[in-house]
């Protein structure tokens, strides 16, 4: 541990202590989502189920609620439900990462937990340099940096980052986001026998690669894995233009399904599909867990998208993680469902079977709150439009005639109503996780998902149901949810 590393760790502890009361007084602190203790959280990193413990690292700038030189913060859990905050795994303390320990991944190798990450450096001319680095640990808590393992290849800019590493048939592979000198976003594949020496294997796919066409100036946080018989590439391209209901965030996240040729590095794939339809979702990362499930965490935020306007900034923190989600491939589409273990959080069940919802707005005193889970199963729908309003700030709208589902909210930037949409042939169920300032909506068992932050009046806990032009009958179940952080 270097002197600079010790200085940064001590400064982070002092910052947490200085603002602890201010942070905890924020009515928008979340109950059952992972948040930073102070400062800014962004990408999930190094997500792994190792030696009986789930480790979730994250991009963390502890010194202000804004982007800056990133640490790797560290959460651990035995069950994906209840979490503990540990000491930061990495600090930006060395020449090869002095302006940020950027995103990456984790693998188990010979009894050690190894972290692969991007070292971000600004040189004396304020020019970006990028180094792919490794650190390792024997106990999963204290990490020793081993330095640089991979440099920027010819033909690419210093926007070369976010390594995701895995092993297949005794060989290690690494995918990484890259930008060409022609300013096209790519994903590249490398291979290694020992996790030290890496050889370029090929261009997986990217903007203006093969038949892709123009598709963004940088591709961040790639994650390539096998799921239900197919190869899947998750990636966050920057620079996409809006198309109908798609790509309405400043930066977007989605996936390709296909087959990876491990010799040439090429992914032969179908079209890009957006993964989450909401306002805040970016840079997800997955792992295979002890039960063989493909589990995902996403960052509940988007870079460059009104971040400085979040009301939490004045309380010295910003952003959160999504809930953990299990991924399944169904008819060529990724379905996302909250992991089963989250049912442990439920308490005080309220059940209302066969409720007839009409054009007259209905509120039920026992179905309200600020941190709860709500399950709505449709039994019969004869309404043209169904609306569910959460705390007079968020609205879920299904228009049966237009075959469209909409999530609306009051913008925290300008107070106006803003919306996101998707096509939906029929509505069979809504599964909502509503936290003090976050909502995750799973539609039709995960066929579509919307993730968003929202900032309602803390005193307003109302939930309202109504229809237009006809009625809808549904069963309702609601649970209050407990805190997930261990003291």
Residues with active-site annotation: 43
Q: Is 270 exposed, middle or buried (0-12, 13-18, 19+ CB in 10 A)?
A: exposed
Question: What is the widest separation between alpha-carbon atoms in the chain?
Answer: 69
Where residue 125 falls (left for φ over 0; alpha for ψ -120 to 50; beta otherwise) is: alpha
Which whole-number Å values give the CA distances from 238 to 135, 282, 283, in the listed order? Answer: 28, 11, 11
225: closest CA among 281, 155, 167, 152?
A: 167
For the chain, report the end-to-end CA distance as a whole number of angstroms.
27
């Amino acid at each position: 541990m270097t002197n600079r590393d010790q200085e940064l760790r001590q400064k982070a502890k002092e910052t947490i202590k200085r603002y602890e009361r201010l942070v905890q007084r924020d009515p928008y602190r979340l109950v059952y989502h992972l948040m930073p203790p102070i400062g800014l959280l962004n990408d999930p990193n190094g997500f792994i189920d190792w030696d009986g413990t789930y480790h979730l690292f994250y991009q963390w700038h502890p010194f202000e609620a804004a982007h800056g030189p990133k640490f790797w913060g560290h959460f651990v859990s035995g069950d994906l439900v209840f979490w503990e905050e540990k000491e930061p795994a990495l600090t930006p303390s060395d020449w090869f990462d002095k302006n940020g320990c950027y995103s990456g991944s984790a693998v188990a190798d010979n009894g050690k937990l190894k972290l692969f990450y991007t070292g971000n450096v600004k040189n004396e001319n304020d020019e970006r340099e990028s180094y792919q680095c490794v650190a390792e640990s024997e106990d999963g808590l204290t990490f020793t940096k081993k330095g640089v393992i991979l440099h920027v290849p010819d033909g690419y800019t210093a926007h070369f980052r976010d390594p995701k590493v895995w092993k297949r048939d005794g060989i290690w592979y690494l995918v990484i986001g890259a930008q060409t000198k022609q300013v096209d976003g790519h994903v590249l594949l490398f291979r290694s026998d020992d996790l030290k020496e890496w050889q370029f294997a090929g261009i997986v796919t990217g903007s203006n690669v093969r038949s892709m066409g123009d598709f963004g100036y940088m591709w961040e946080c790639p994650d390539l894995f096998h799921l239900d018989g197919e190869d899947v590439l998750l990636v966050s391209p920057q620079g996409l233009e809006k198309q109908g209901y798609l790509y309405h965030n400043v930066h977007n996240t989605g996936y390709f399904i296909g087959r990876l040729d491990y010799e040439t590095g090429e992914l032969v794939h179908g079209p890009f599909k957006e993964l989450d339809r909401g306002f805040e979702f970016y840079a997800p990362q997955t792992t295979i867990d002890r039960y063989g499930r493909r589990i995902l965490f996403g960052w509940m935020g988007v870079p460059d998208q009104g971040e400085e306007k979040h009301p939490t900034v004045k309380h010295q923190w910003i952003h959160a993680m999504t809930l953990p989600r299990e991924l399944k491939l169904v008819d060529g589409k990724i379905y996302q469902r909250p992991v089963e273990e989250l049912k442990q959080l439920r308490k005080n069940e309220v059940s209302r079977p066969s409720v007839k919802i009409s054009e007259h707005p209905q509120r039920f005193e026992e179905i309200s709150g600020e941190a709860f889970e709500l399950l709505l199963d449709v039994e019969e729908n004869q309404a043209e439009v169904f609306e569910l309003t959460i705390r007079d700030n968020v609205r879920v709208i299904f228009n049966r005639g237009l075959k469209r589902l909409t999530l609306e909210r009051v913008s925290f930037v300008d107070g106006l109503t803003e919306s996101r949409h998707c096509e939906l042939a029929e509505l069979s169920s809504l599964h909502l996780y509503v936290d003090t300032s976050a909502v995750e909506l799973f539609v039709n068992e995960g066929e579509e998902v919307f993730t968003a932050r929202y900032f309602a009046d803390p005193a307003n806990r109302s939930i309202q149901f109504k229809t237009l032009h006809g009625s809808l009958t549904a069963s309702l179940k609601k649970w209050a949810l407990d805190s997930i952080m261990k003291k």
